[in-house]
Structure 1
Amino acid sequence: MNWPSLLMLVFIGLALVLIGYLVGTASVKPAGPADADIIFAAELSTHHALAMRMAGLAGQYSDDPEIRHVAFEIETDRIEQAGRVKGWSDVWKQPPQTAKDVERPALDRVDPAEVTALRRLTGTEFDIAFLQLMLRHDETGIALAKLAVTKARTSAVRVHAKTVRAQQMTEVETLESLLAARTSRTSRY
């Protein structure tokens, strides 16, 4: 066999491999999101909006630098995550959903009225109430993330849910420590 014939066979072989790949990938579409993915995105969006609201209040009403710092961290983190979830909804071409549009796997343990009531508090009383509400709120986030880890179809959602769960578990430890320090101060009087 001469070189031109060999080159022609190699070219034909590569063309067949490429055609096979293109036909194979065209017929196998990636799986779209499952209901669990969509519910997680919708719930996390609603959940984070409430966290950002609470953190924003702490930034405004707390005089304690530690509380203001943790509130800033919470707000910044939740803004980034809310953007990510919005991106998923855009890619999935899912309309923005509110909590009433989907089955709620883990009802938030914080009533928005409790958040509004924070505005009437000041000083250590505000700080303690903020920490208690945020702790209850994070427990809901952990439960929501745990559900998504086991039920979500898309790997991006599962990976993000694992990250959310780990991050909020760490945050719970921080909030508990801050709360313990403030409740021990108030119980001395």
Structure 2
Amino acid sequence: MRTTRTLIRRAALVAVAATAALTLAACGGDNGDSASSAPASASSTTGAGSTAAAHNAQDVTFAQGMIPHHQQALAMAGLAADRASSARVKDLAARIEKAQDPEIRTMSGWLTSWGEDVPASGSMPGMDHSDGSGMAGMMDDKDMAELKKMSGTDFDTMFLTMMVEHHKGAVTMAGTEKDKGEYGPATAMADDVVTAQTAEIAEMNKLLGKS
């Protein structure tokens, strides 16, 4: 399964590379009217203080899963400043960092207040989700190593392709929290994640020439 998945992903990257390179080159120096994704309101209005508020197992699962998911997104976004050629890709990466870093701090506060384990930074690097055992949208170690080797338009294409998959995973996780979570601030954050990352998926697909 892992070999098939890797081949499919590499084939997809090759298929979009030519179109994406042209699209990115055309807009590389223009920040334009790219979609805005402000930090989630839950991260700026809620913290660890509401210890008495009701929460359930799904809220804990959401926070413990989304923290490492966000951490990997930050690791990917952090590569863009030195490797990306498109100004729009760099801008997108900066917005991802601005939105998701505060959310990590907020979710860590919830878990601490609930007496639950907080995932350590870097505790979950890549995950092989090809067999369904991993977290939705997470890249594995090989994916991350390949991204680190890229630069210029090749980096732009791989970054966008990987981040689209990563965002789709986050949207799925957030959707589950919206449906099954009990803690108000967590379900509010999940709603923000769905809204912001769905918009960013559309933005990235446009940069890849898929819209």
Q: Is TM (by shorter chain) over 0.5?
A: yes
Shift of 1:30: 4.9
TM-score (norm 2): 0.66
CA offsets 1:52-94 (integer angstroms, 9 cap, x no match): 0000011221122111111111111110111111111122121
Residue 136 of structure 2 contacts residue 170 of structure 2 at CA under 8 Å; is this kept in 1?
Answer: no
Shift of 1:110: 2.2
Structure 1, gaps ≥5 residues long: 1-28, 185-189
Q: Look up the match of 2:189.
A: 160
Q: CA RMSD in A?
A: 2.3
Q: Look up the match of 2:164.
A: 135
Code of the aligned partner of 1:136: E
Code of the aligned partner of 1:144: M
**1-side partners of 2:178 and 2:159: how far apart?**
28
**Bigger Rg, structure 1 or 2:** 1
Larger helix share, 1 or 2: 1
Q: Pick closer, same or farther for the CA change 1:106–1:150 going to 2, 3 Å.
A: farther
Which of 86, 103, 111 aligns to 1:64? It is 86
Q: Look up the match of 1:3.
A: none
**1-side partners of 2:104 and 2:142: how far apart?**
22
Give 3-state SS (helix, strand or coil) of 1:33's partner. coil
Which of 110, 120, 126 aligns to 2:139? It is 110
Q: How many residues align?
A: 151
Alignment of 1:1-189 (within 5 A): 30=52, 32-97=54-119, 106-180=135-209
**1-side partners of 2:197 and 2:146: how far apart?**
24
Q: Comparing 123-132 with 89-98, which one deviates more in the overlay?
A: 89-98
Percent same amino acid at aligned positions? 25
Give 3-state SS (helix, strand or coil) of 2:182's partner. coil
Residue 137 of structure 2 contacts residue 167 of structure 2 at CA under 8 Å; is this kept in 1?
Answer: no
- In the TM superposition, structure 1's runs of 4+ consecutive aligned residues that sit over 6 Å from their partners are none
Give 3-state SS (helix, strand or coil) of 1:87's partner. helix
Code of the aligned partner of 1:133: M
Larger RCO of the pair (alpha carbons < 8 Å, separation 6+): 2
Shift of 1:42: 0.7
Residue 106 of structure 1 contacts residue 143 of structure 1 at CA under 8 Å; is this kept in 2?
Answer: no
Structure 2, gaps ≥5 residues long: 1-50, 128-132
